[in-house]
């Protein structure tokens, strides 16, 4: 297999990097926040080790989180076809093969690891997802040994003088699938491989296991880690339900991505302590939360609808906004509907729903400019004024984003309407009482265990 030269720069790669980076950071995500860049070592061999929960969106978050070009390692089976293999290698993605790929392929890993070692020796960072696959939930799967083996072998072959680093990274999404959600990526402090070299010289397997445990601990600090896999939905509901209250207790001014992350971490930590120390109380809380989630699902609502007070005056104001904004929505809808609908034709039949956002993004990156150019071309048949045609072209993307925002505003408006219409419904009143009960239990848990 020809692995090419992943460190070589090309004009096409740079152009695509700028274009796709703009779409990722400014269009697809409402907010893309990257912190901890000061932890990236300069002129040191480094391997980036992020958690992996959202298929191809995780590599994109990595790629556009800082300025240097990265080399990735990915599953070997996606390199099966020659054209795909060449394209992936061109975009600085190298394969790692597993036993299921065949013994002949597995033997290629030694060549690939040699290439990776050569790359990190040039101080170009390599990204390896230590779980080996995406999980689709806020819980880290057991880590593989690839990173540990790579850094130890690299050190061994260079007289243990490389001073290589492993950078733990946490990626956090406000919503895995929805466009215009938020993503937070945090670079943690480097793990010094040199701290484990003495142990490696004496007992290689023990050093690999020890380093792997340290990596898991350090990555978990930078992500939402829910250990209780059986009742993970209870934790998910609680972190959405209690985030505003927890942020207030922590003295956080808002729920922007980093603050939301901090509030969620504390909510989960308190809940885990409740589960560990008072299992019967947690079982009751679990029952209440499950019942509450079923209730709001029945009314087709999110928790925020019950949290925020809706009055007739608010509904009247929102009605006026919807009426005034409808012409803009209609223009944006008519000029963008095909591009918005195209990805759904593919994603509706997906077996692995974690690929939803990746496919949405990939199809949109190509379909939006194509259909915008087609519509721009059509204007030549109806308008002779170049500045009108240009204004039309430049209005398409903003109009599409406004139409998307309008639709979300309308969905929230209808949810508020359902809440007001059902306020006196005994089931709704029971739901609100259940919510208050959950809050009381969570506040008591905070009092027991503290938040520091």
For residues 93 and 76, what is the distance between their CA atoms, to the nearest angstrom? 10
The pTM of this model reads: 0.93
For residues 74 and 90, what is the distance between their CA atoms, to the nearest angstrom? 13
197 Cβ contact partners less than 8 Å away, ≥ 6 residues apart: 152, 155, 160, 207
> How confident is the prediction along the chain (452 residues), in pLDDT tens digits per residue?
667 777 777 888 889 999 999 999 999 999 999 999 999 998 899 999 999 999 899 999 999 998 888 999 888 888 878 888 888 888 898 888 877 777 778 888 888 888 888 898 888 899 999 998 888 889 999 999 989 998 999 999 999 999 999 999 999 999 999 999 999 999 999 999 999 999 999 999 999 999 999 999 999 999 999 999 899 999 999 999 999 999 999 999 999 999 999 999 999 999 999 999 999 999 999 999 999 999 999 999 999 999 987 888 999 999 999 999 999 999 999 999 999 999 999 898 888 888 899 999 999 999 999 999 999 999 999 899 999 999 999 999 999 999 999 999 999 999 999 999 999 999 999 999 999 999 999 999 999 998 77
Token pair, residue 55, equals 């298929």
For residues 131 and 142, what is the distance between their CA atoms, to the nearest angstrom? 6
Q: What domains are defined for the chain?
A: 11-220 (3.40.1130.10), 229-299+431-449 (no CATH), 312-421 (no CATH)
Give, in order, the Cα–Cα distances in Å from 144 to each of 132, 148, 205, 213.
Answer: 6, 9, 13, 11
For residues 269 and 374, what is the distance between their CA atoms, to the nearest angstrom? 52
User: Is residue 39 within 8 Å of residue 167, measured between CB atoms?
Assistant: yes
């Amino acid at each position: 297999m020809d692995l090419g030269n992943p460190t070589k720069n090309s004009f096409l790669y740079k152009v695509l990097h700028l274009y796709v980076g703009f779409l990722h950071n400014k269009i697809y995500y409402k907010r893309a926040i990257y912190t901890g860049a000061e932890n990236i070592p300069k002129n040191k061999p480094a391997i980036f080790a992020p958690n992996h929960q959202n298929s191809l969106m995780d590599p994109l978050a990595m790629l556009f989180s800082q300025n240097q070009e990265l080399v990735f390692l990915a599953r070997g089976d996606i390199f099966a076809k020659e054209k795909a293999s060449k394209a992936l290698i061109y975009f600085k993605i190298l394969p790692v093969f597993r036993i299921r790929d065949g013994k002949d392929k597995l033997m290629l890993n030694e060549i690939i690891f040699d290439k990776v070692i050569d790359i990190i020796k040039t101080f170009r960072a390599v990204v390896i997802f230590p779980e080996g696959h995406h999980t689709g939930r806020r819980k880290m799967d057991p880590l593989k040994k690839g990173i540990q083996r790579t850094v130890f072998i690299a050190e061994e072959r260079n007289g243990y003088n490389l001073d290589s680093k492993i950078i733990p990274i946490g990626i956090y999404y406000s919503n895995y699938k929805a466009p215009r959600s938020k993503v937070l990526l945090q670079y943690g402090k480097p793990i010094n491989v040199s701290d484990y070299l003495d142990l490696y010289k004496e007992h290689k397997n023990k050093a690999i296991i020890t380093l792997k445990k340290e990596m898991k601990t350090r990555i978990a600090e930078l992500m939402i880690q829910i250990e209780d896999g059986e009742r993970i939905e209870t934790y998910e509901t609680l972190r959405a339900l209690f985030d505003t209250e927890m942020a207030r207790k922590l003295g956080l001014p808002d729920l922007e991505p980093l603050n939301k992350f901090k509030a969620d971490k504390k909510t989960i930590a308190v809940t885990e302590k409740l589960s560990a120390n008072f299992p019967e109380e947690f079982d009751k809380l679990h029952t209440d939360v499950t019942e509450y989630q079923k209730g709001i699902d029945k009314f087709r609502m999110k928790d925020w609808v019950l949290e925020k007070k809706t009055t007739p005056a608010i509904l009247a104001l929102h009605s006026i906004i919807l009426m005034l904004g409808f012409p803009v929505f209609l223009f944006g809808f008519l000029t963008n509907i095909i591009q918005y609908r195209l990805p759904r034709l593919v994603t509706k039949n997906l077996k692995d729903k974690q690929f939803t956002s990746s496919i949405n993004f990939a199809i949109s990156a190509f379909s939006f400019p194509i259909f915008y150019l087609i519509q721009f071309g059509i204007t030549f048949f109806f308008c002779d004024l170049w500045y009108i045609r240009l204004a039309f072209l430049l209005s398409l993307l903003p109009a599409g984003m406004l139409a998307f925002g309008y639709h979300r505003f309308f969905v929230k408006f209808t949810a508020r309407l359902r809440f007001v219409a059902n306020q006196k419904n005994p089931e709704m009143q029971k739901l609100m009482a259940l919510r208050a009960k959950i809050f009381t239990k969570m506040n008591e848990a905070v009092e027991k265990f503290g938040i520091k």
